[in-house]
Amino acid sequence: MADLAISGSVLREGRFTDAVVVVADGRVAAVEPAGTHVDAAERVRLADDAVLLPGLVDTHVHVNEPGRTEWEGFATATRAAAAGGVTTLLDMPLNSIPPTVDPDALAVKRRAADGQCHVDVGFWGGAVPSSLGRLRALAEEGVFGFKCFLVDSGVPEFPPLDHDQLDRALAEVASFDGLMVVHAEDPGVLADAPAGGGPSYAAFVGSRPHQAEDVAISGLLDLARTHGARVHVLHLASASALPLLAQARADGVRVSVETCPHYLTVSAEEVPDGHTEFKCCPPIRDAANRDALWQALVDGVIDCVVSDHSPSTVDLKRLDTGDFGQAWGGVASLQLGLPLVWTAARERGIGLERVVGWMAAGPAALAGLAGKGAIEPGCDADLVAFAPEASFVVDPQRLHHRNPVTPYAGRRLSGVVRDVWLRGDRIVADGAVTPEPLGRLLEKERP
Ligand SMILES: [Zn+2]
């Protein structure tokens, strides 16, 4: 007898079909045609306005624990993830103390996370100048790849790589066929840009121009080409880099690209001066740029949409002074990604199946998370009952992340996450996250 059978409209192989998803031992055992009788301990019939999606995979989350747990933590971040239909997240190596740059630091982070997680959690390693030559050792401990910065990261314990160090790091990562994920802004371009402090959003954008991304991405692509290294461009905000990326892919360079909900759902014209809850780096750019990012998703030049959930304390966001120069750069949206992107997609006539592809299968493929991001026999039974036409208004007090700061307060969004199953166990029931943390810590297969 199966453990669970869920019947209704199921997203599978890129389209919705009426089916019965059969779950046994935490995995999808079978997907049967609608009406098939299945012996199961529990049967769920989806409401008429709901569909069944694979659990989302968010490969860009800053949990910040240990060390900056007042900014965020494993319990709060993973509750937010569960409530948002994200059943797997990968934690970034920085903003925690210590940063995840060696095997000892990874062990510290695993101990901090253990027993607190409501969804499955894996870890990125960090590539900083002092870790060069020792990346393989960290890869052998099960990180999913390495993150580096080319500019100041915002925290002193995670310094950037210069051009020569990036060259060495990519050679090293390529030697064991690893993955390097890159915060691509060029320090020279930023140094030459106007300073941009104060409450003016236009001045802030002027201080982080699109050329900073374009120059950094161009340099990264050259090195990836030289070394045959696999690279991934994090949080692409600049649409003017898209032709470079498309050309590199056409040439066979091993590059993938992500963007984030804030770049797709907000434009610079809409950001009021002094509203530092919208500050992130690279910045949200103008409406024409946003439209071009959507087109690149549709065309397949951008592979993934992930949150870059990067919260801080309320104080550090400087909401009191509204100074974009001083405020922490980061937008917290782990719980809202799916409804944010879906609301904007449907206004553009883009189907839910495409949105889920960018937010589940795309990130799973990036990280090499076999068994995640799809509803297929053998995959983990990570499932989301989602009501696409239902709507809600964002109330910061109902968000589970630690500090109730959000640029989306008061927005009406389409799409409500009703129930979520993690490996067959219900972790969200009618919108409420269940108390027991059932998430596991994930490790990538060793090189
Ligand atoms: Zn980030």
Question: pLDDT per residue over 109-123, tens digit each?
Answer: 999 999 999 999 999
Q: What is the mean pLDDT of residues 245-257?
A: 98
Question: What is the share, in percent, of the chain residues with pLDDT greater than 70?
Answer: 100
Phi-psi region of 41 (alpha: psi -120 to 50; beta: other; left: phi over 0): alpha
Q: Residue 150 in contact with residue 184, Cβ under 8 Å?
A: yes
User: Which residue, chain included where needed, has tokens 């992107």?
Assistant: 341
* 124 CA → ligand 1 middle, Å: 11
User: Which residue, chain included where needed, has tokens 């959690």?
Assistant: 121
Task: Inform me whether the pLDDT recorded for 84 exceeds 70.
Answer: yes
What residues sit around ligand 1, an ion, with C-beta below 5 angstroms? 308
Q: What is the mean pLDDT of residues 99-106?
A: 97
* 329 CA → ligand 1 middle, Å: 9
Kindly report the backbone phi and psi dihedral angles of residue 4, in degrees, each rounded to the nearest multiple of 5, phi listed first: -155, 140
Q: Residue 332 in contact with residue 286, Cβ under 8 Å?
A: no
* 258 CA → ligand 1 middle, Å: 11
What pLDDT sits at residue 404?
Answer: 86
- Pairwise CA distance, residues 92 & 95, whole Å: 8
* 237 CA → ligand 1 middle, Å: 12
Kindly report the backbone phi and psi dihedral angles of residue 246, in degrees, each rounded to the nearest multiple of 5, phi listed first: -65, -40
pLDDT in tens, 152-208: 999 999 999 999 999 999 999 999 999 999 999 999 999 999 998 999 999 999 999
Q: Residue 98 in contact with residue 105, Cβ under 8 Å?
A: yes
447: confidence class by pLDDT, cuts 50, 70, 90:
low
Structure tokens, 335 = 């719980």
* 147 CA → ligand 1 middle, Å: 9
Q: Residue 304 in contact with residue 359, Cβ under 8 Å?
A: yes
- Pairwise CA distance, residues 433 & 426, whole Å: 9
What pLDDT sits at residue 446?
Answer: 74
Half-sphere exposure of 422 (CA within 13 A, CB side): 29
pLDDT in tens, 285-330: 999 999 999 999 999 999 999 999 999 998 999 989 999 999 999 9
* 308 CA → ligand 1 middle, Å: 5
What secondary structure does DSSP assign to 158-198, as a single string?
Answer: SPPP-HHHHHHHHHHHHHTT-EEEEE---HHHHHHS----S
* 366 CA → ligand 1 middle, Å: 16
- Pairwise CA distance, residues 155 & 125, whole Å: 16
* 68 CA → ligand 1 middle, Å: 15
Task: Inform me whether the pLDDT recorded for 29 exceeds 90.
Answer: yes
What pLDDT sits at residue 302?
Answer: 98
What pLDDT sits at residue 445?
Answer: 81
* 172 CA → ligand 1 middle, Å: 23
Tell me the angle at which helices 242-250 and 210-227 cross, rounded to the nearest 10 degrees: 10
- Pairwise CA distance, residues 99 & 160, whole Å: 13
* 262 CA → ligand 1 middle, Å: 13
Q: Residue 67 in contact with residue 96, Cβ under 8 Å?
A: yes
**Entry pTM:** 0.98
- Pairwise CA distance, residues 155 & 233, whole Å: 20
